[in-house]
Structure 1
Amino acid sequence: MKIEGNPRFGYSSIVSRPDFTWPDGKRLAVYVALCVEHFSYGTGMGLAYSPGLSHPNSYNWGWREYGNRVGGWRLIGLFEEQKLPLTVLLNSSCYEHCPELVSAFSKRGDEIVAHGYTNSEHPNGMSEEEERKTIEKVTKAIREAEGKPPAGWMSPGAHPSRHTEDLLAKAGYKYTLDWPMDDQPVWMKTDGGPLLSVPYPHEVNDVPMVILHDGTGQAFADMAIDNFDEMLAQSEKQPLAYGITIHTFIVGQPFRLRQFRRVLEHIQKHNDKVWFTTAGNIADHYAGQFPPPAGGSNP
């Protein structure tokens, strides 16, 4: 079998890279990505809490809709209480479906990251032209609502196509969250020029932990805290970026929210060592210190 190489970036060991710091000399950057999603009723794809049931599936749709009606608001309250920013991964259809919720994030100054139109469809499966038009539609909706285009992208279902990065760079995006392969940002090659990959968690993420592996809210909180403590210690050797991914309809459930509060309170105890920020700020700071290398990707 011939092993195909990845055309976007080459191999690079974290122990052999130049040293740097985050703002104020801090070594660990932390952000929370909150997925705010809208799903088609009776059709399409989407995370299943009751797999095997045919459409229309009121139980499954209602579980996910809880995040827009209740869970998202509870999480806004928690982050207001903790005085912390959010990186909001937004299905742009939410501007039509739950504009009041999206507006609340905007008023807080949270970063809005493009997360496709709806999680009922994934880009991997679209034609290149269909995907290009979807990116244009999503970008336009966010630009018109927020007064500026989104800098970052996360594909619905974390499932980009072979064309996604090329299309994003051509559309003016600065970074992507689709590649969970590092604890530092990585420059990628695309047909539209360099695109930065910002570390995104596919482990410290409530979907695999809670839904796929049947983890409890307490276990998810313990994992997030353990990951933080270990990365804080490791950041003495290399500066690192730590993300936590949550969904309004998963961690937004009251019993999980109570456990997640424990995570934020733990991180807050280390404010002197941690830069709690957004994915976009991480991308900007890294790009300011390390412009795209010749050829467009890291060695």
Structure 2
Amino acid sequence: MTAQYLGPLPDHGRFPYRAITQRPHYRWPNGAGLAVYIGFNIEHFAFGEGLGANIGPASPQPDVLNFSWREYGNRVGAWRCLELFDSLALPTAALINTALYTHCPELVAAFVARGDELVGHGHSNAERQAALDEAGERALLQHCREQMRQHSGVAPRGWLSPWISESRLTPDLLAETGYGYTLNWCHDDQPVPMRTRSGRTLWSVPYPQELNDIPMIVARQMDGKDFAQMVIDNTDEMLEQARAQPLVMGIALHPYLVGQPYRLRHLRRALQHLAAARDRGEVWFTTPGEIVQHMATLAAHEPKAFA
């Protein structure tokens, strides 16, 4: 039996460890301690092949049950959620598959018309990004960026990989293809600058894997009312924590889940709670792109503090 290796473990090399209690002090616009954003995932899946979340056991392809359940989000759920966002005057970050531009372009256009931020989220959620080689991954990032620029008039500033699937080069390729931030990492409650091989900084904006309707409803089989209470409890606890330091809270939503009528009713209660905190000036309700812009301004004035 050989001796166990007791040296440092392999590391990503993107950022050092830094405890949340040892960070620079700053505030969000208007003096708010908590920045909140909605990551609204609008996705398209191939019929009869590829990956996809399931409401029931997977069937041999074509899996009509699970495909049509997900497609409900594009046909109905997303539009009901838009009505809710409008009623509360809430901005969103729409995380889009570019396959939507040929499938249901009017849905993407509705978010553009609201002035929402568009975030790159692959071409389809039926595929994983990490399966690509470097050239293929670069081509995917460039394709999505150009499609969004061409069809929506604006290039995305940020990226969320389908299924949070990265290669070891993904942060480097994102920086090299014009993206300024990633939502892939869930390791912190503040934005964190990441090192890349080009020397360009890629910001990591906290994206939730807990406050996320897929693991809560699909994996843990929690009810819509429980998910809404999670959002409320998370908000109230982070507001307490944010008295001492600035924090970011994302809420990850998928319209085929929260757009179902009985879940939408509970989501409304949770978002009303957040809107009330915003109206009291306790919350900066924003988008990840605006969070990064604020951080870039701070870092320009105090580069050593945010290195």
Gaps of 5+ in 1: none
What's 1:42 paired with? 48
Alpha-carbon distance in 2 for matches of 1:63, 1:259: 20
Q: Which residue of 1 aligns with 2:79?
A: 73
Question: What TM-score comes out, normalization by structure 1 length?
Answer: 0.96
Root-mean-square deviation (CA, aligned residues, Å) is 1.4
User: How is 1:1-299 mapped onto 2 (pairs within 5 angstroms)?
Assistant: 1=5, 3-192=9-198, 193-271=200-278, 272-291=281-300, 293=303
Q: 1: distance between equivalents of 2:21 and 2:65?
A: 48
Matched-pair contact (CA < 8 Å) for 1:158–1:178: yes
- Of the two, which has the highest radius of gyration? 2
- Of stretches 42-51 and 203-212 in structure 1, the one that deviates more from structure 2 is 42-51
SS in 1 for 2:41: strand
- Percent identical pairs in the alignment equals 46
Q: Distance in 2 between matches of 1:122 and 1:287?
A: 30
> Is the CA contact 1:71–1:252 (under 8 Å) kept in the aligned structure 2?
yes
SS class of match (2:98) = coil
- TM-score of the superposition, structure 2-length normalised? 0.94
1:10 and 1:298 in contact (8 A); partners too = no
The 4+ residue runs of structure 1 with deviation greater than 3 A are 291-294
Quick one: which amino acid aligns to residue 233 of structure 1? E
In the alignment, the residues of structure 2 paired with residue 254 and residue 212 of structure 1 have an alpha-carbon distance, to the nearest angstrom, of 20
**CA displacement 1:248-286 (0-9 Å, x = unmatched):** 111011111000000111112212111001111111111
Give the aligned length: 297
CA deviations on 1:76-126 (whole Å, 9 max, x unpaired) are 000001111011000011011011111111101110000000000111111
Stretches of structure 2 that go unaligned for 5 or more consecutive residues are: none
Contact residue 9 and residue 298 of structure 1 kept, 8 A: no
Structure 1's 298 and 53: CA in aligned 2 closer, same or farther, altered over 3 A? Answer: farther
Q: Distance in 2 between matches of 1:286 and 1:261?
A: 30
